[in-house]
Amino acid sequence: MLGTIIHGPRDIRLEERPDPTIVLPTDAIVRTVAACVCGSDLWRYRGIADVPRPTPIGHEYVGIVEAVGSDVTSVAPGQFVVGGFLTSDNTCPVCKTGAHANCQNGTGYDGCQAELIRVQNADGTLLATPEQPDEELVPSLLALSDVMCTGWHAAVSADVRPGSTVVVVGDGAVGLSGVLAASQLGAERIISMSRHADRQAIAREFGATDIVAERGDAGIEAIRELTGGIGADSVLECVGTAESVDQALRSARPGGMVGWVGVPHVTDLPQEHMFWRNVGLRGGPAPVRAYLPDLLQRVWDGHIEPGKVFDITLPLAEVAEAYAAMDERRAIKALLLP
């Protein structure tokens, strides 16, 4: 089969690889219908995170079950499935609390930007759609594999509830998904911090009531003006840099909550913006399986269309161009078709 390998900064290659096989009785093999490139993949692409050796890459996918191990009972060959960016058994004590991203038996993948994928913990990871989806539903189902659940996790972690005022820091696919999540959770005012017209348009479509283009102190001031002078109840931190974490903490009102899901590239947290202002911080990798049943139903029923974050579709053969387009901000998020 063909699979994507990152060899180093800006060196993405689609290569012939051995077909994955069932190794454990809890495995499934999925034939990819669509995959995509994650903002977090770009950390390695840009050389910010190390690539010590050529490594299969990609962790988002939807597809058709090709084969299952002897212990798998909840999905069967031929079904269309969505899986999260980490596998989870959905039965361990940690999964039982809803923290599936930290499953005691969880694993990653050996590269999902590929024609075939080995999915460990298949029963606890894959969710089948009620029937084969129409083609136009595929991007939104794919978005559930990571960005939509991650945006949802930011909103849940930030304690968004009916009537909340919300700030979303970051206008990438996760930030936009966070806007959609806040809207679905009943937020009254949703302020998207964005400087790009195309992303602002999607944010509006997803439910943003206001756009703030400024950053730093000017951004804080703009947020204050929109929130009765005090800051937002909930802030979704969807970037992960020291600047964006600072922006998020300072955008919250006293007693407010920041949900952070941007992989943090900050070594320590500025507690001076937290304790004395009673601003909390919660989040991490999203427990996809915890949210998947609810969100898949919302997509299936046409209530949400998170697939709108994909603004470029390429054949898997052009995976290198997908990375380049996202790196150069020519695309928000690239969908790949094998």
Q: Is 124 in the site for its own copies (CB under 8 A)?
A: no
Contact with its own copies (CB under 8 A) among 27, 60, 146, 233:
233
Q: Which of 268, 236, 264 is nearest to 252 (CA)?
A: 236
Q: Is residue 13 helix, strand or coil? A: strand
**Shortest Å, Cβ 283 to its own copies:** 7
* Strand-pair category, 189-193 with 165-169: parallel
Contact with its own copies (CB under 8 A) among 25, 77, 78, 98:
98
Pick the stretch among 19-27, 182-190, 196-204, 278-286 that binds its own copies (CB under 8 A). 278-286
Distance (Å, whole) CA 275 – CA 219: 22
- 243 phi/psi in degrees, rounded to 5: -65, -45
Q: Is 283 in the site for its own copies (CB under 8 A)?
A: yes
**Shortest Å, Cβ 287 to its own copies:** 7
Contact with its own copies (CB under 8 A) among 42, 99, 128, 320:
99
Q: Is residue 285 helix, strand or coil? A: coil
Pick the stretch among 27-35, 119-127, 223-231, 303-311 that binds its own copies (CB under 8 A). 223-231
Q: Is 267 in the site for its own copies (CB under 8 A)?
A: yes
Residue in the structure block whose two tokens are 């050796």: 53
Q: Is 253 in the site for its own copies (CB under 8 A)?
A: yes
207 CB-near residues (< 8 Å, 6+ apart): 179, 180, 182, 183, 184, 187, 190
52 CB-near residues (< 8 Å, 6+ apart): none
Contact with its own copies (CB under 8 A) among 4, 79, 121, 157:
157
Q: Is 282 in the site for its own copies (CB under 8 A)?
A: yes
Q: Are 87 and 119 in contact (CB under 8 A)?
A: yes
Pick the stretch among 50-58, 125-133, 189-197, 284-292 that binds its own copies (CB under 8 A). 284-292
Q: Are 141 and 129 in contact (CB under 8 A)?
A: yes
Residue 205: alpha-carbon gap to chain centroid = 19
How many residues sit in the footprint of its own copies (CB under 8 A)? Answer: 39
Binding footprint of its own copies on the chain (CB under 8 A): 93-94, 97-99, 101-102, 104, 157, 228-230, 233, 253-255, 257, 260, 263-264, 266-271, 274-285, 287
